[in-house]
Amino acid sequence: GDSVTQMEGPVTLSEEAFLTINCTYTATGYPSLFWYVQYPGEGLQLLLKATKADDKGSNKGFEATYRKETTSFHLEKGSVQVSDSAVYFCALKTGGGNKLTFGTGTQLKVEL
Amino acid sequence: NAGVTQTPKFQVLKTGQSMTLQCAQDMNHEYMSWYRQDPGMGLRLIHYSVGAGITDQGEVPNGYNVSRSTTEDFPLRLLSAAPSQTSVYFCASVRDRSHEQYFGPGTRLTVT
């Protein structure tokens, strides 16, 4: 079945550091890929998405490129802020339905 | 637009008790779903609905019931609570064709 593997956290960075959170997937067919963010005490929010190979999703300074050859969708940001502290979930969707398969989440802590 | 709302925010149950977690959305979304979030396991799909009167099982449906009598509401019923159901529960709805799922703020349930 479909699955998503994320790097384990927590990831602790200093403000303005470069961020990479790795995500790889296993799926039948051609999935759509997503990054969701969960701020403390809140529900998940869509951060960015990519629906086909080589697409780059971007939002709020975050980027991720859909790499079919390596089945990856790594999240990057050039300069993190304290306000980026949250849990980040990689997810995929296959077929015509709306069921999402989530990774286990990666907690990011950004310190001054 | 209130988006996706969930009640209650917190609940403590004793083993064997039953209760209903409420979920409502005011975006006229056809597709709604329930997830549970557990440490180290990401989000797992419990039940989902593609429209009023239609529901189906997700990955972890045992011990839970759902119904969808209106487009707006999608309650989740715990028939006989067990400690293994201690979790954070999220309801989500999706706008067709956009792939973006909107999540509620969650219900934190503890079963003792």
DSSP string for residues in A22-69? -EEEE-SS--EEEEEEE-TTS-EEEEEEE-STT-EEEETTEEEE-BTT
For residue B41, the model assigns a pLDDT of 84
- pLDDT in the model for residue A30: 85
Residues 6 or more apart whose CB falls under 8 angstroms from that of A96 comprise none
The answer to whether the Cβ–Cβ distance between A103 and B106 falls below 8 Å is no
CB atoms within 10 A of CB A26: 13
Are residues A105 and B106, on separate chains, in Cβ contact within 8 Å?
no
Q: Does B88 touch chain A (CB under 8 A)?
A: no
Rounded CA separation A104/A7 (Å): 9
DSSP symbols for B17-59: --EEEEEEESS--SEEEEEEEETTTEEEEEEEEEETTEEEE-S
pLDDT number for residue A33:
94
CB of A46 within 8 Å of a chain B CB? The answer is yes
Do the strands B107-111 and B10-13 form a parallel or antiparallel pair, or are they unpaired? parallel
If you average pLDDT over residues A64-74, what whole number do you get? 96
pLDDT of residue B90 exceeding 90: yes
Compute the mean pLDDT over every residue in chain B, rounded to the nearest whole number: 93
- Check CB contact under 8 Å for A98 and B45: no
Candidates B35, B42, B104; nearest CB to A104: B42
Answer positive or negative: Cα dihedral of A109, B3, B8, B11.
negative
CA neighbours closer than 13 Å in the CB half-sphere of residue B35: 23
State whether A100 and B106 contact (CB < 8 Å).
Answer: no
Residues of A in contact with B50 (CB under 8 A): 97-98
Residue B1: the pLDDT is 72
| Lowest mean per-residue pLDDT among A14-23, A36-45, A60-69, B68-77 | A36-45
Q: What is the dihedral of CA A13, A19, A21, A22, to 10 degrees?
A: -130
The pLDDT of residue A69 is above 70 = yes
Interface mutation target, options A7, A98, A104, A107, chain B, most CBs of B under 10 Å = A98
pLDDT surpasses 80 at A36 = yes
CB contact under 8 A, A100 and B45: yes
Binning pLDDT at 50, 70 and 90, where does residue A17 land? Answer: very high
Give B100 or B7, the one with higher predicted confidence. B7
Q: Report yes or no: A86 and A37 within 8 Å, Cβ to Cβ.
A: yes
Q: Which residues contact A86 (CB under 8 A, 6 or more apart)?
A: A37, A38, A39, A40, A107, A108
At B99 the pLDDT is: 65
The reported pLDDT for the residue numbered A47 is: 96
Q: Is the pLDDT of residue B98 over 70?
A: no
Nearest-by-Cβ selection for B104 from A32, A43, A100? A43
Per-residue model confidence (pLDDT) at position A29: 81
Cross-chain residue pair A51–B99, CB shorter than 8 Å: yes
**Residue B72 pLDDT greater than 70, yes or no:** yes
Q: What is the pLDDT of residue B97?
A: 61
> B72-109 in b/e burial notation, b at 16+ Cβ within 10 A?
bebbbebeebeeebbbbbbbbbbeeeeeebbbbbbbeb
Q: Is the pLDDT of residue B101 over 70?
A: yes
Task: Give the pLDDT score at B93.
Answer: 94
